[in-house]
Structure 1
Amino acid sequence: MEDDVMHRRIARYASAVVIAATSLTALTGTADAQEPVKTVYFAGLPGTNNDGNPDEWRVTDRVGLSQVVYNEWAPARRCDTSTVPPFVPDTATKLTGYSLGRLATIYYLARASDAQRNTISQVTMIDPGNYASMRNSCDSEPLFVGDDQPLGIGKRGADYLVDWLEANRGARLTILAGPWTATNSHQGIQEIYFNRLRDAERATGIEMSSRVLVCNYSTTETNITKSHHQMIKGADGYVDADLSTCPDGMPNLTLQEPKQGWHP
């Protein structure tokens, strides 16, 4: 009888251990404790890399970094922001977007509460795009932030980026601009993002431009598409970095003048 009782106790204990391990795995993806996610990286539209292979533009895995590929975060309905927030845990303080992944960072900010906006201290955009790519996308169109929102009514994507910089006085936006983004004197970010930023500064009296840093890079590729691909490969190690200054020495990328970067 005592043996039966002991066996039942052992079985219950073993079951509890299994349940606890299962719960931990559900939360962390592994039975071992992990560092909390500090940076969420959103990749751009998948394509073919410079070696001729399919590529989702993932970067090297590391502690504290979560990666979200385009087919995971991109909404079925144009400019719908609802797909992004579930990928950003409360522990995240940085958002990084490569190419079209820039929109995912904006989609999160559009849905974020005041507390969540204050938690995000840095947004990094890696070669976000030229004027045509931003003018014909949700950077320039009203975003859907609620199911009852009428079509075509609401703030545009770029407005939410400015709102974040205005509300969070410690926030920084860093743009690593390759040849694609630099097209026509950075016309895309100048007209779509920075014109709204400058208008907001004049209207509110809140200084934001000094917290926006643009770093210019050339690549070893002369083809604009291949140079765009080279930007994320070279910047791989910086998607989760604190970028208050322009990183130098990235593979196949050359930091251009002004070496300290420039502000809007």
Structure 2
Amino acid sequence: MTKAMMSAPDRTSRGLRRSTIRRLTAVLAAAALTLGVAVSTGTPALAGTGLYYQAVDADNDPYSGIYLRNGTSMGNVDRVYHRYLYYGNTVELICGAWGEAVGPYNNRRWHYVHATNGPAAGQQGWIADRYLNTPNKANEYTPGEPECGAPPPPTYNGSVYFEANGSGDESSPASVHRSFSHWTASDCSSVNANNFPSWLSASNTHITTAAGWSLGRLGPVYTLETTQGNPGGGRWQELDYILLLDPGNDDDLLVNSCDTRDDRGQLFTKWLKANPNAKLVILAGQRTGEDSHRGIQTLYFDYLRANGGPRDRILVCNYDGMGHQAVYSNFKDAMNTPPALPLDQHDCPGTESWAWHP
């Protein structure tokens, strides 16, 4: 029943009920303050922006629409008809925030909106940017939309470090530090390598770097190996920087069956081609530099050169005479400072003897 259709008694009783509710709310709020209890609506201010967009079927799913959420996660939902948006229904943006990642591009942008038509008309709630036809790309702000006062945008320089087999001091500054026994086993198994989060909620940080020293070189390799079935998404797109600190000489790389059982050069080449932001940096100390870098030249670079791999996105930094442990001790902080493309000698930490592309 609309207001125009209400009789005078209807309007009066509706007004009395609203007045009673307002007085009761005020009494409860005052009581809560007296008892030291915080009172919160749990929702942003409801001022519209004049920015209107439509709900879209981003996944070709079998449904006709999507429910408004009660917060910035897909699981926070009441599946009731008056919270339902049909695809094509229009919403007005109120404000945006960062929340749960949604879709193949891990889009963490969410919008608090006012539905203007459809079953949810007049309702306010949250919808993932994935399901609106906003002009921005994944994880970008929508032009003209204010923030809801949510946490700051995520950072994309988190790192995972794969520890070697206890042959030296490996205290690391990585966002995620994985001990040798947690990421591999004695049978060259790669199944545990990928068991680390893509995003750290406490620091709002995405893991985009994988690093390893010495035998830890196999950690990033195993991660790519076990996830290579999805080169267009997942780890292959999340990880855009692999840092190998003095990975080893030809005896280390060409005799160890865990290194040679698959073509590691082919794996790196496929990753570099699949992810246009991917880059591989090798810090070569005295050990890796032996026999003119024969180990990495043969295992990593021969296939790449023969098959048109992007050589400019691989950088080898030479530290002639620097000991194996010293390379890690001196340059472990580099795992938290990913370089930007294009790569050149200025992306080598410290002072290198010389830097080169394969």
**Class of the TM-score when normalised by the shorter of the 2 chains:** 0.5 to 0.7
Query: Kindly tell me: are residues 71 and 248 of structure 1, through their superposed partners in 2, closer, same or farther at Cα, counting changes over 3 Å?
Result: same
SS in 2 for 1:197: helix
* CA–CA distance in structure 2, aligned partners of residues 38 and 67 of structure 1: 11
Cα pair 1:58 1:69 within 8 Å, conserved:
no
Higher RCO (C-alpha under 8 Å, 6+ residues apart): 1
**Pair 1:111 & 2:226 matched:** yes
TM-score by length of 2: 0.49
Secondary structure at the aligned position of 1:194 is classed as helix
Cα shift at 1:39: 0.9
Measure, in 1, the Cα distance between the counterparts of 2:304 and 2:332: 28
Specify whether residues 81 and 248 from structure 1 end up closer, same or farther in structure 2 by C-alpha distance, changes over 3 A only: closer
- In 2, Cα distance between equivalents of 1:89 and 1:175: 23
Contact 2:245/2:284 (8 A) holds in 1: yes
The yes-or-no answer on 1:102 pairing with 2:217 is yes
Alpha-carbon distance in structure 2 between the residues aligned to 1:74 and 1:194: 24
Equivalent of 1:160, from 254, 267, 272? Answer: 267
Given that 2:265 and 2:302 are in contact with CA atoms closer than 8 Å, whether structure 1 keeps it comes out as no
Report the CA distance between 1:76 and its aligned residue: 3.8
Q: So what's the TM-score if we normalise by structure 1?
A: 0.66
Between Structure 1 and Structure 2, the one with more strand by share is 2
Matched, 1:255 2:316: no
Structure 2, gaps ≥5 residues long: 1-34, 36-150, 200-205
Return the alpha-carbon distance in structure 1 between the equivalents of residues 259 and 274 of structure 2: 19
Q: Give the count of matched residue pairs.
A: 194
Corresponding residue of 2:171: 58
1:1-264 matches, within 5 Å, as: 38-47=158-167, 49=168, 55=169, 57-60=170-173, 65-78=175-188, 80-89=189-198, 91-112=206-227, 113-114=230-231, 115-116=233-234, 117-137=236-256, 138-142=258-262, 156-201=263-308, 207-219=309-321, 227-243=323-339, 244-246=343-345, 250=350, 254-256=351-353, 258=354, 261-264=355-358
Q: Deviations over 1:77-118 (max 9, x none)?
A: 22x210110124253111111111111101101122220202
Cα–Cα, structure 1 residues 164 and 121, in superposed 2: closer, same or farther, change >3 Å? same
Q: Confirm or deny: 8 A CA contact 1:106 1:158 kept in the other structure.
A: no
Computed over aligned residues only, the root mean square deviation of the Cα atoms, in angstroms, reads: 2.6
Distance in 2 (CA, whole Å) between partners of 1:160 and 1:88 is 22
Q: What do the CA deviations read for 1:105-149 (whole angstroms, capped 9, x no partner)?
A: 01101122220202211111000111111112222113xxxxxxx
Amino acid at match of 1:46: G
Q: Which has the higher helix share?
A: 1
